[in-house]
Amino acid sequence: MTKKVTKKAAKKAPAKRAAKKAPGQRELSARGREAMFAALAAADPEPRGELNYTNTYTLLVAVVLSAQATDKGVNKATEGLFARVSSPAEMLELGEEGLIAHIRTIGLYRSKARNVMGLSRLLIERHGGEVPRGAAELEALPGVGRKTASVVRNVAFGEETVAVDTHVFRVCNRTGLVRGGNVRVVEDLLVERVPAGYRRGAHHWLILHGRYVCRARRPLCGECVIKRWCLYDAKEV
Ligand code: SF4
């Protein structure tokens, strides 16, 4: 006798299957997320980025210069630059060639120099020489994308933004903190799910963790403070 499948049961079946995720697809529970951030915060109560800057304008310039470059390399180049320049007007005075003389050790320095001159000009024309706080205004500046705007809004203005770079993307997907196929999905999930109280520091904790512990190759699971909650199948414990 064939079993009659009601419309209701047929609708329910796929949902039940979807809920049972493969090991590599599991995500942390709200309690797990809370515990993971508590452990990261206990290990580094006041996380901060590694780019050097002297004010909000030089922070913006440093972040623009850091695309596809190391913070260390950018700091080396900006040491002399920021001793001389601290405002858009001073940058325009220095000029593009003058700027290039400082940053030629950084990858893509020509296009970055063009962007820094362009954004400095626009800051004067549209914002009285100040760095705006809004995402739309920031992203309208040359060389400033969503990630750069998020970093500046977080670091300079205390906004609870989470910029997702390659490190944050890897840590989230590996640990199951949140899972997403691209940086925008991961960012939206983080904004939604990072527990209150940890939103301001989340960006730094995740970047530093990815850079120094949960490295792309050979993650240092043995000395990882969040290994207890990490769902990475290949973690070494
Ligand atoms: S346990 Fe290993 S894989 Fe998991 S977060 Fe820590 S370093 Fe990364």
Q: Tell me what the pLDDT averaged over the chain comes to.
A: 91
Q: Which of 212, 226, 233 to mutate to test the pocket of ligand 1 (most atoms within 8 A of CB)?
A: 226
Statement to judge: residues 181 and 104 lie in one domain: no
Domain range for 33: 27-47+161-223
Q: What is the pLDDT of residues 88-102, one digit of tens each?
A: 999 999 999 999 999
Which of 115, 136, 157 is the endpoint of a domain? 157
Asked whether residue 21 carries a pLDDT value surpassing 70, the answer given is no
Asked whether residue 10 carries a pLDDT value surpassing 60, the answer given is no
Give pLDDT, residue 235. 80
Would you call 233 a catalytic residue per the annotation?
A: no
Nearest ligand 1 atom to the CA of 213 is: 7
Tell me if 206 CB under 6 Å of ligand 1: no
Q: What is the pTM of this model?
A: 0.86
Statement to judge: residues 112 and 188 lie in one domain: no
CATH at 140: 1.10.340.30
Burial (CB count <10 Å: 0-12, 13-18, 19+), residue 132:
buried
Q: Is 6 part of a structural domain of the chain?
A: no
Which of 157, 173, 208 is the endpoint of a domain? 157
Q: Is 230 part of a structural domain of the chain?
A: no
Statement to judge: residues 97 and 181 lie in one domain: no
How does DSSP classify residue 3?
P
Statement to judge: residues 138 and 186 lie in one domain: no
Start-to-end CA distance of the chain, whole Å, equals 52
Which of 157, 176, 192 is the endpoint of a domain? 157
Q: Is 5 part of a structural domain of the chain?
A: no
Tell me if 221 CB under 6 Å of ligand 1: yes
Q: Is 20 part of a structural domain of the chain?
A: no
Give pLDDT, residue 23. 58
Number of domains in the chain: 2
Statement to judge: residues 129 and 60 lie in one domain: yes
Statement to judge: residues 152 and 77 lie in one domain: yes
Q: How confident is the model at residue 18 (pLDDT cuts 50, 70, 90)?
A: very low
Q: Is 204 part of a structural domain of the chain?
A: yes
Distances (CA, A) of 3 to 8, 9, 68, 142: 14, 12, 60, 64
Statement to judge: residues 142 and 70 lie in one domain: yes
Give pLDDT, residue 218. 94
Asked whether residue 15 carries a pLDDT value surpassing 90, the answer given is no
Asked whether residue 29 carries a pLDDT value surpassing 60, the answer given is yes
Q: Any idea of the CA torsion for 156, 82, 149, 191, to the nearest 10 degrees?
A: -50
Q: Which of 3, 72, 76, 165 is catalytic?
A: 165
Give the residue from 127, 167, 158 showing the smallest Cα distance to 144: 127
Q: What is the pLDDT of residues 141-160, one digit of tens each?
A: 999 999 999 999 999 999 99
Asked whether residue 43 carries a pLDDT value surpassing 80, the answer given is yes
Which residue's alpha carbon is nearest to atom 4 within ligand 1? 230
Statement to judge: residues 144 and 98 lie in one domain: yes
Q: Which of 76, 147, 188, 233 is catalytic?
A: 147
Statement to judge: residues 177 and 212 lie in one domain: yes
Asked whether residue 140 carries a pLDDT value surpassing 80, the answer given is yes
Statement to judge: residues 43 and 70 lie in one domain: no
Q: Which of 214, 217, 218, 237 to mutate to test the pocket of ligand 1 (most atoms within 8 A of CB)?
A: 214
CATH at 165: 1.10.1670.10
What is the arithmetic mean of pLDDT over 58-87?
96
Cα dihedral sign for 125, 127, 133, 136?
A: negative
Would you call 165 a catalytic residue per the annotation?
A: yes
